[in-house]
Amino acid sequence: MAVSKSDFLNYTRCPRFVALAELRKEKLDADLSYAEYQEQERLEQIQEILGNMFEDETYEHDLTQKVNAQLEALMPFYKQVEIEAGGLANKYFGGKSKYAAATKNQECFEFNQKGIKYVCYVDIYNENKQGINIIEVKATTSNKYLKLLGSFPKKEKYPIFYFNVDKNTYFLKDEIDYPLNQEMPDEVFAKNKAKLFDRYTDVGKYVYDLAVQRYIIEGEYRSSGNAAALENIHYYLAILNHEYVFDGSYIDGVADYKKDAAGHELIVFIDLTKVTAEYQKIIAEDEARLEKYIFALDGSPVPMGIWCERKKMRECPFLAPICGKDIPAKNSALNYLNNGFGFKNEDNERLKGLDLINHGYLEMLDIPEEWITNPKHHIQRDAVRFGKEYIDKEKIAAGLSLIEYPIYHLDFETMPCPLPRFRGEKPYMQSPFEFSLHIETEPGKCDKLKDNYIFLAKTNTEDEREELVKKLIEYIDGDKGTLFAQNVSFEKGRIKELAAIFPEYRERLMKIYDRGFDLMWLVNTNAKLYEELGFDKKRSALPNYYHKDLSGSYSIKKTLPVFSDLSYANLEVKNGTEAIVAYANYNKMTKEEYQLMYQALIEYCRQDTWAMVVILEALRHICQ
């Protein structure tokens, strides 16, 4: 049987996975074809892009099959990242590089152990005078690694990585000649570095991938009696540079990602040679577990945990249908608000996340009353127990009194592309391609169609942002009224970025920016705002409204059906992910399909701002 790098990651999650996977595969001893390997890589790469485009929790996990097929549109971006990384490997490492967008052209390594064949393909295989460089390309960004910061108490924070401009490479500061003790104590550095060794963190998952890669490569060298060559192999990640700003140059219509004005390259490397060497002991233990699981093939239930990666891009495919099938879809023990730390039980032990489910606490009301210390959780329980909504009319009314008219209900649809497409963009920057605006001139005076203004880009290849900006400042008077949005910081963030890219409209845009107010401050809360309005600290922190159907979420898809008969269920485009894939697929559509999808995008975005109008009206009624 063959185990790919992806299989390795999955099969070592827990003892049960391999049994569930193999039972489905029917043939335990099947080999792994190129086509199967490519398919695995394709799925992983799509997951990776989506994982970087969305915060895991905000991604719509219930994508339809149709949308999954459309996610294909994101693949060219991944391939382009690989090609750009290959070009820069040649530039900075010298020698010869083997890389290609197609997996079958990549260098393959494999070795056999106990009847199991371990296989991996290398994204970039570089040979220069110093030896061999193995470079794994990931469509993620460098800022994740630069967020590993340390300091002395109350002193400035510093990253644990040092950037060598000449090599376009990050190095861990403890691996080079660097005055680390002037920036942070050793233990602080070690604590941050340890995150690289946790395969379930944002930074650690890529390091684990590279370490598994190294394990398989070293396995091949050792089994072929060539262990001496291992000393000259170096291991790197190639990732997108979060500081890179695209200047909008194209050659024959193709973006030219040369160095930016500040000297940044699009891709940077991270030297993980020593880290992955340290990691080999852990990978060997994981491999031993994997063999044990494969030979035992025991599908009996095991505890769920971090390894299931619930609500993450790499969520175990067996979580929803098998292991976690008893977790209620609504008001489960996992739906308590802001409950990352879980609950303390009678023995002072903390139970959180899937551990609650493991211990049989499935429903929200299964959690013993004595464990509840957060007043928000009492509100949630009472809403479920008595079916009665919770309302703090005074706070809602106080919030409403702050809103100036006209209200500009605004929502952007954006494309967070791994590769910047237009001038002034950075990797994964949220590039607006659509907005919907409902203008409410006085309380309740807003027509769904007549007072709605939409801008939607006609292509995904031309830069239509200036047109979008012009429409925005044409419709919104920055001298009066309120910019109103669900999660207004997102809309404000896009306006600020557009103001920086188009300085000629900066003044007008920033006036709009300054008038932001969030729907969430009315439905949920904004503790600081309500304290300023004279409410005490405890009350200010509590939600203004709660209904059992919210099930621990204030997303507009949850609040709209609570306050109205409207929902997103009947729309062709139902969520932000679907909107992005629809836009990304423009070029693959027939004329008729394009027209239908264009209209569907209009309907979806309009629904987002109309939902705000409807909810706001419902809140006014509640306060009467």
Closer of 131 and 299 to ligand SF4 (Cβ): 299
Q: What is the 3-state secondary structure (H, E, C) of 477-510?
A: CCCCCEEEECCHHHHHHHHHHHHHHCHHHHHHHH
CB of 15 to ligand SF4, least distance (A): 8
CB of 23 to ligand SF4, least distance (A): 12
Closer of 316 and 605 to ligand SF4 (Cβ): 316
Site for ligand SF4 in 265-324 (CB under 6 A): 302, 304, 307-308, 316, 318-319, 323
| List of long-range contacts for 496-499, beta carbons under 8 Å, 24+ apart | 497/424, 497/429, 497/430, 498/432, 498/465, 498/468, 498/469
For every residue of 304-359, DSSP letters joined together read --GGG-TTSTT--TTIIIIITTTS-SSSBGGGSTT-TT-EE-TTS-EE-THHHHHT
Contact status, residue 481 vs residue 406, Cβ threshold 8 Å: yes
Contact status, residue 506 vs residue 469, Cβ threshold 8 Å: no
Closer of 3 and 383 to ligand SF4 (Cβ): 3
CB of 289 to ligand SF4, least distance (A): 13
Q: Quick check: 14 binds ligand SF4 (CB under 6 A)?
A: yes
Closer of 124 and 323 to ligand SF4 (Cβ): 323
Closest CA to 623 of 390, 391, 440: 391
CB of 304 to ligand SF4, least distance (A): 5
Contact status, residue 243 vs residue 426, Cβ threshold 8 Å: yes
Closer of 277 and 302 to ligand SF4 (Cβ): 302
CB of 305 to ligand SF4, least distance (A): 7
CB of 283 to ligand SF4, least distance (A): 18
Contact status, residue 196 vs residue 207, Cβ threshold 8 Å: yes
CB of 116 to ligand SF4, least distance (A): 20
CB of 308 to ligand SF4, least distance (A): 3
Closer of 11 and 517 to ligand SF4 (Cβ): 11
Q: Quick check: 472 binds ligand SF4 (CB under 6 A)?
A: no
CB of 503 to ligand SF4, least distance (A): 50
CB of 361 to ligand SF4, least distance (A): 17
Site for ligand SF4 in 217-236 (CB under 6 A): none
Closer of 17 and 513 to ligand SF4 (Cβ): 17
Q: Which residues pair with 254 in a beta bridge?
A: 251
Residue with tokens 């007072």: 451
Which H helix or E strand runs over 133?
strand 131-141
Site for ligand SF4 in 323-382 (CB under 6 A): 323
Residue with tokens 């891709």: 267
Q: List C-alpha distances in Å: 584 to 23, 63, 251.
A: 37, 16, 21
Residue with tokens 């987002």: 608
Closer of 352 and 539 to ligand SF4 (Cβ): 352
- Candidate residues 16, 376, 381, 548; the one interacting with ligand SF4 per rule CB under 6 A: 16
Contact status, residue 165 vs residue 147, Cβ threshold 8 Å: no
Part in contact with ligand SF4 (CB under 6 A); list of ranges 13-21, 387-395, 510-518, 604-612: 13-21
Contact status, residue 18 vs residue 11, Cβ threshold 8 Å: yes
Q: Quick check: 13 binds ligand SF4 (CB under 6 A)?
A: yes
Tokens of 135: 């470079």
Closest CA to 440 of 479, 414, 475, 471: 475
Q: Which residues contact 69 (CB under 8 A, 6 or more apart)?
A: none
Site for ligand SF4 in 20-39 (CB under 6 A): 20
Which H helix or E strand runs over 436?
strand 430-440
Closer of 319 and 566 to ligand SF4 (Cβ): 319
Closer of 20 and 384 to ligand SF4 (Cβ): 20
Size of the site for ligand SF4 (CB under 6 A): 13
Q: Quick check: 199 binds ligand SF4 (CB under 6 A)?
A: no
Site for ligand SF4 in 563-602 (CB under 6 A): none
Which H helix or E strand runs over 602?
helix 591-623
Backbone φ, ψ for residue 101 (5° rounding): -70, -25
Part in contact with ligand SF4 (CB under 6 A); list of ranges 16-24, 106-114, 140-148, 424-432: 16-24
Q: Quick check: 11 binds ligand SF4 (CB under 6 A)?
A: no
Closer of 178 and 295 to ligand SF4 (Cβ): 295
Q: Quick check: 205 binds ligand SF4 (CB under 6 A)?
A: no
Is the bond into 406 cis (omega within 30 degrees of 0)?
Answer: yes
Backbone φ, ψ for residue 486 (5° rounding): -85, 120
Closer of 19 and 523 to ligand SF4 (Cβ): 19
Closest CA to 327 of 369, 359, 370: 359
Secondary structure E strands in 9-99: 96-99
Q: Quick check: 17 binds ligand SF4 (CB under 6 A)?
A: yes
CB of 303 to ligand SF4, least distance (A): 7
CB of 202 to ligand SF4, least distance (A): 19
CB of 611 to ligand SF4, least distance (A): 34
Closer of 57 and 507 to ligand SF4 (Cβ): 57
Part in contact with ligand SF4 (CB under 6 A); list of ranges 9-17, 114-122, 419-427, 542-550: 9-17
Judged by the rule CB under 6 A, the positions of this chain that interact with ligand SF4 are 13-14, 16-17, 20, 302, 304, 307-308, 316, 318-319, 323
